[in-house]
């Protein structure tokens, strides 16, 4: 049985700051996962979204996920109750004013993120660090739109956050050493393993993973195999825990497309061209699990391939 105590200061040398209170902007799948692990690790968390109902729904999801952890003896019931008590809904960004670190987890759209930072930064204390969970967008470019590029960093969690061990840390050109060391210590305190990536389109994981998924979609588009055949081939032939089309549905086809577009535009290589079938699915609003239809239809008792 794991019992998690409240965090001590993360300062271990002069290059680290204290992190006690964490703001999370965006109460979707990534945001609720980040809030979940932060609260379990003893940090006070303020969870914000554009609608308070979304935050309440996210809290219910976190509660359910923690209950499953209790059922598996990964945490105690006392841990669950204490962690839930550390998460506070934040209806407005003003509520994040005294946070030591704020992590943005909004949609993978640069203009959306820039608007959030423009509203957020003026209310934060000068020493606060701003992190973004972007999976592909330039950290340097996002940082340049803020009042604190030296205190801005990419903190890319993997999905689902409570289960995945890795966090990519991405420095922009202006990110200073104190910000980097503080964030690295914070990620380690969450029980995650940091991997440092350079600020190139899609960083490490998605630079490798998303082109594979895109190629699987091309394989479907060109009629080389069916949805079921492609996923079975990669599960049994490459020992992947999840087929690439099933994984695409889990990630969200809109997110897959956004990352491929960043790669295609940022690296100017035709090998990163998004598959037309991926574009078509996104245009149809078939975004995967979150809309109940993608490469599989999730509306019945079990998923059924849509092609």
Instruction: Convert the pLDDT of each residue in 161-219 to its tens digit.
Output: 999 999 999 999 999 999 999 999 999 999 999 999 999 999 999 999 999 999 999 99
Q: How do residues 154-166 score in pLDDT, each as one tens digit?
A: 999 999 999 999 9
Residue ranges for the chain with pLDDT beneath 50: 1-14
Residue in the structure block whose two tokens are 């219910």? 60
Q: Where are the CATH 3.40.50.720 domain residues in the chain?
A: 21-197
Phi, psi of 196 (to 5 degrees): -90, 125
Q: What pLDDT is recorded for position 226?
A: 97
Q: Which residue in 273, 263, 272 sits closest to 200, CA to CA?
A: 263
Q: Any residues with CB less than 8 A from the CB of 26 and at least 6 apart, and which? A: 48, 49, 104, 105, 106, 133
Longest CA–CA span in the chain (Å) reads: 58
Of the listed 41, 136, 206, 214, which one is catalytic? 206
Q: What is the CATH number of domain 21-197?
A: 3.40.50.720
- Count how many residues are written for the chain: 307
One DSSP character per residue, 102-168 reads EEE---S-HHHHHHHHHHHGGGS-TT-EEEE--SSS-HHHHHTTSS-GGGEEEEEE-SSTTT--EEE
Residue 206 falls in the annotated catalytic set? yes
How big, in percent rounded to 5, are the helix, strand and coil portions of the chain?
50, 15, 40
Q: Where are the CATH 1.10.1040.10 domain residues in the chain?
A: 207-302
Q: What is the CATH number of domain 207-302?
A: 1.10.1040.10
Of the listed 104, 108, 168, 181, which one is catalytic? 168
Strand partners, 88: 46
Q: What pLDDT is recorded for position 15?
A: 74
Q: What pLDDT is recorded for position 59?
A: 97
Q: What pLDDT is recorded for position 14?
A: 45
Of the listed 58, 135, 136, 138, which one is catalytic? 135
Q: Which residue in 295, 265, 290, 267 sits closest to 280, CA to CA?
A: 295
Give the CA angle between residues 98, 25, 183 to the nearest 5°: 65
Q: Tell me the C-alpha distance between 174 and 182, whole Å.
A: 15
- Kindly report whether the peptide bond that precedes residue 160 is cis, defined as omega within 30 degrees of 0: yes
Of the listed 44, 156, 181, 214, which one is catalytic? 156
- Tokens representing 11? 């300062």
Q: What pLDDT is recorded for position 10?
A: 43
Report the half-sphere exposure of 129 (CA within 13 A, side-chain side): 28
Element (H, E) at 24: strand 21-25
Residue 91 falls in the annotated catalytic set? no
Q: What pLDDT is recorded for position 40?
A: 97
Q: How confident is the prediction for the chain on average, in pLDDT? A: 94
Residue 156 falls in the annotated catalytic set? yes
Parallel, antiparallel or unpaired: strands 166-171 and 152-157: antiparallel
Q: What pLDDT is recorded for position 16?
A: 81
């Amino acid at each position: 049985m794991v019992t998690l105590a409240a965090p001590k200061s993360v300062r271990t040398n002069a290059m680290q700051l204290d992190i006690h209170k964490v703001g999370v902007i965006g109460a979707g799948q990534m945001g609720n996962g980040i809030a979940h692990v932060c609260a379990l690790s003893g940090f006070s968390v303020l969870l914000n979204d554009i609608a308070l109902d979304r935050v309440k729904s996210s809290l219910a999801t976190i509660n359910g996920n923690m209950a499953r952890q209790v059922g598996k003896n990964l945490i105690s019931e006392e841990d669950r109750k204490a962690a839930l008590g550390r998460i506070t809904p934040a209806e407005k960004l003003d509520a994040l004013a005294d946070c030591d670190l704020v992590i943005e987890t909004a949609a993978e759209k640069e203009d959306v993120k820039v608007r959030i930072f423009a509203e957020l930064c003026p209310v934060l204390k000068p020493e606060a660090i701003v992190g973004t969970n972007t999976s592909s967008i330039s950290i340097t470019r996002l940082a340049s739109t803020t009042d604190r590029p030296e205190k801005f960093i990419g903190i890319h969690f993997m999905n689902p956050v409570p289960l995945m061990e890795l966090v990519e840390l991405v420095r922009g050109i202006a990110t200073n050493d104190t910000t980097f060391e503080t964030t690295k210590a914070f990620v380690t305190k969450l029980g995650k393993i940091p991997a440092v990536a350079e600020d190139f389109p899609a960083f490490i994981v998605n630079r490798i993973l998303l082109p594979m998924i895109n190629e699987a979609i091309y394989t479907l588009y060109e009629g080389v195999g069916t949805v079921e055949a492609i996923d079975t081939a990669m599960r049994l032939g490459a020992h992947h825990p999840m087929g690439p089309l099933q994984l695409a549905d889990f990630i969200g086809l809109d997110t897959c497309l956004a990352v491929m577009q960043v790669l295609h535009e940022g690296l100017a290589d035709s090998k990163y061209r998004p598959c037309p079938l991926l574009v078509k699915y996104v245009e149809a609003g078939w975004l995967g699990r979150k809309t109940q239809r993608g490469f599989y239809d999730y509306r019945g008792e079990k998923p059924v391939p849509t092609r």
